[in-house]
Structure formats: structure tokens, C-alpha cells
Amino acid sequence: MKNSAAMKLRQVPAGYLVVGIDPHKKKHAAVAITEDLMVRVRFKFTNSGAGFEQALENARAEMIKSSCRGIMFAIETGGHYWRNFAYCLEERGIPFRLISQFTLKRMRDGRDLNRRKNDFRDAEMAAGVFRTGDFTETKLPQGVYAELRSTYSAYFRLVKERSSLINLLKGLLDGLFPEFTQIFKDPCGRTALTVLSVYPSPASISNLNKGIFVAAIRTERQGRLMVKKLKTLHEAASISIGIKPGADGVAMEVTQLVSRYHLIEQQVDRLVKSLILLVDKTNEGKYLLSIPGINYLSAASLLAELGPFSSYKNGKQLVKMAGTNPIEAESGGKRLGKTPMSKKGRPRLRYSAWSAVIPLFRHNPDFRAWAKRLRERPAHANPLNGKEVVGAALNRLLRLVYALVKKQEFYRSPQIILAVN
């Protein structure tokens, strides 16, 4: 059996000086300790190029002074301020490891009953945690994978912003023009958005003749119109129960939201085109796209979070990084009936895998048949319910994509493989 803790401890060479880093926005705190856990020096350096150079000089001077063979850095990953210094170290070929802020907090609370906390204490704890092997072997994304992650992060934020905007628009219409969403189920449809951009309030619609209203919308919207719904909307505007006090201000905000929605749609389209090009540049993209039901966005989201598959040794590591691995809870000989997900990995990777799995049940007959067998197993074989099937499918998909990339094979249906054999 492989001992991951022993493997990590072997990465800490004997006689090395370990420098723990507690990163912050303006100044980082650093504490250097030797192999016997003796604190050698404490210092702070600015979050700048000159500050980074000063930190490296201080570390080298202390390495020589303490007769150490080399330097390794242990960086706490609270927030995002650690990334600049980590990339600086990687460019110079200086070894470093990342320390989870959750692990550091628990170990600090366990060692200090008085719960004392300061920047130097956190840096010292980071170096101490590194010495015990409780660090993360994270490789910083480079090249196309770094571009893919940053582009997908921008896409993910825009999609969330678009969802918030749609919810806000619906909330305003519930007060200003409640009949609108009853006629146009999707207020972000093309005809609906055209109406809201020109005549957002029921008063502005009811003041016009029905024919003039339809003609005005036809002038603004070149293409197919829902004329029947437009006429129904005109009739509903005259008897609307919308709130009249303050309606002009709400109507102005509605038109502004429509303009922002169009802008976000254009930005999303540009990002989607960029993601497609980036997926084609990766070595893994073609193998992921060979799976029926996986599109470019699903492949981009998975690759943005996983990075190059050459960094992994087996498919279990992908499952653990997503936090979809089942965990057990047992105490005093009693075991919890269910085995939920650990959810200790990356939430966005878990969401990306879930977004990719749902279409597989519809467009991939192999996944659909597999899920049906799990649900319809006899009682003694532990049949799974809907959520449990989805959780099992997440792990199956991650193991599948790893196997395809590792073997450099395109997806083939198990039925076809059996027919060939």
C-alpha cells in the first residue's frame, strides 16, 4: 500500500531551511526554521518585485548563516495574495509547497490553547506544517492551461452576473408590470427584450394604438415577432395592476438592465469562442470531446480546473480533487447509514463535473443504461436514488476522462467493443 504521507516527507530534504510565508495584500510575513524546528529569523517584505528580491536575499543569507544545504518555501493559501510570490519562485526554480489555510488553522488551534494569532505565528505554523508533510502538491497552471483557467473564470463570473441580472429584472417586473412575465415566460427572449428596451411600463404601451405598438416593435426588432403575444400584452397593459407611484424610475432601471444584458451576452459569446480555441490547443481536449454528451464548454470547465492530466497518477486523484469521493462515519462500532460526498475538493470542479454529467444522461446511451441499472438493482444489491446516481456518475466521468487521456484513446461504446471482440 502506498503511503502518501511518507511520499510527501521524502520531498523535504534533510538539512534544508524552511521559510513559512503568511501572504497579505501589502506585506507578507516570513519565518525561517531549521530541521530541528528552531526559529532562525522573522521578517516582513512588501508585495512587490523589490520585496520578493529582498525576501530571497534574506532567506539565502540565513541559509548560509545556519549552514543549511538549501531553501524551501511553505506558503499559506489564504485568499489570492500568495499567487504572485508563488509564480516568482517557480520562475526562479526555487522549490515551494502550498499549505491549506484550513489545515493550518486547525493545527494552530490544537497547539495553542490560548488561540493566539498573528502574522509571524501563521508563517511559523506554515513552516511547521510543511515539516510534517501536511502540504498540498499543487502545480501552478502554465501556458494554455493558465489561459484556459483565467478565461473560464471570467466566463463563470459573467454567467453568474447574468443570472443575477435576470432575477433582478423579474423582480422589478413583478411590481411594475406583473402581467408581462405571464405572457412572456422568458423575459430575456428576443421579442420580450425589444419591448422592454422601448416600452418598459404598461402606461407607455397602453397610450399607443395596438397596431402602432406592434409596428413600433417590428421596426426595432428585425426578424420573427410574436405578434399574438404582443397584442395580448397591449390588452393586458390597459388593465395592469402594476404599481404606478415611482413607475418612471423603475422603468428607467429596466431599460438599463436590458442594455447590460445585451452587453453581457456579447461578452459571453466572445469568451465562448476563446474557450473553444483554447480547448483545441490542449492535448486532452480531443479525447474529452469524443464522449457523446460532452461539449466544448464542459470540456473547457473540466480542463480549466484539472489542468494537464500528466500531473496525476491515477483517476482517484481527480475524484478526490473534486471532493466527490464517498466518506464513511463510524464511532463506537456504529456506522452512519449513508456515505455522503466529502466535498473537500474544489467546488467549481465539482460544479463543472455536475454540469457535464447531466447532459450525459440524455445524450449518452451508455451512461443512461448504466444509471438505469443502478436505480433498478434489487433491494439486496443496494439500489441508488436519483442524487446517488448523479454522485456515482460524477466519479465515473472523472475516471473515464483520465483513462481516455492516459491511454490516448477516443471514446468507444462498450457495446461496440463487445461486438468487435
pLDDT tens for each residue of 85-125: 999 999 999 999 999 888 888 888 777 766 777 889 889 98
Q: How confident is the model at residue 6 (pLDDT cuts 50, 70, 90)?
A: confident
Confidence of residue 9 (pLDDT cuts 50, 70, 90): confident
pLDDT digits (tens, 9 = 90+) for 335-362: 666 778 888 888 999 999 999 999 999 9
Residue type, 420: V
The pair phi, psi for residue 209, each rounded to 5°, is -70, 150
- Contact 293/310 with Cβ under 8 angstroms? no
Angle at 348 between CA 272 and CA 384, to 5 degrees: 115
Query: What's residue 63's pLDDT?
Result: 94
Long-range contacts of 366-373, Cβ-Cβ distance < 8 Å, separation of 24 or more: 366/413, 366/414, 366/415, 367/293, 367/393, 367/396, 370/396
The total of other beta-carbon atoms located within 10 Å of residue 96's CB is 21
Give the 3-state secondary structure of the chain: CCCHHHHHHCCCCCCEEEEEEECCCCEEEEEEECCCCCEEEEEEEECCHHHHHHHHHHHHHHHHHCCCCEEEEEEECCCCCHHHHHHHHHHCCCCEEEECHHHHHHHHHHHCCCCCCCHHHHHHHHHHHHHCCCCECCCCCCHHHHHHHHHHHHHHHHHHHHHHHHHHHHHHHHHHCCCHHHHCCCCCCHHHHHHHHHCCCHHHHHCCCHHHHHHHHHHHCCCCCCHHHHHHHHHHHHCCCCCCCCHHHHHHHHHHHHHHHHHHHHHHHHHHHHHHHHHHHCCCHHHHHCCCCCCHHHHHHHHHHHCCHHHCCCHHHHHHHHCCCECCCEECCEECCCCCECCCCCHHHHHHHHHHHHHHHHHCHHHHHHHHHHHCCCHHHCCCCHHHHHHHHHHHHHHHHHHHHHHCCCCCCHHHHHHHC
Domains, in order of start, for the chain: 12-140 (3.30.420.40), 146-276 (1.10.287.4070), 287-326+342-420 (no CATH)
Backbone phi, psi, residue 341, to 5°: -70, 150
Statement: residue 418 has pLDDT above 50: no
Task: Evaluate the CA torsion angle 315, 320, 321, 323 in order and state its sign.
Answer: positive
Instruction: Decide if pLDDT at 417 tops 60.
Output: no
Residue given cell 530534504 in the structure block: 13
C-alpha separations of 29 from 23, 108, 386, 408 in Å: 6, 16, 49, 45
pLDDT digits (tens, 9 = 90+) for 273-328: 999 999 999 999 999 999 999 999 999 999 999 999 998 989 999 999 999 988 87
Q: Mean pLDDT for the chain?
A: 89
Q: How much is the pTM?
A: 0.87
How far is the C-alpha of 50 from the C-alpha of 48, rounded, in Å? 5
Which of 38, 101, 28 has the alpha carbon at shortest distance from 65?
38
Check whether 419 has a pLDDT greater than 50: no
**pLDDT tens-place string over residues 122-148:** 899 899 888 888 887 778 889 999 999
pLDDT score recorded for residue 287? 96
User: In the predicted model, is pLDDT for residue 56 greater than 90?
Assistant: yes
pLDDT of residue 137: 76
d(CA 121, CA 33): 12
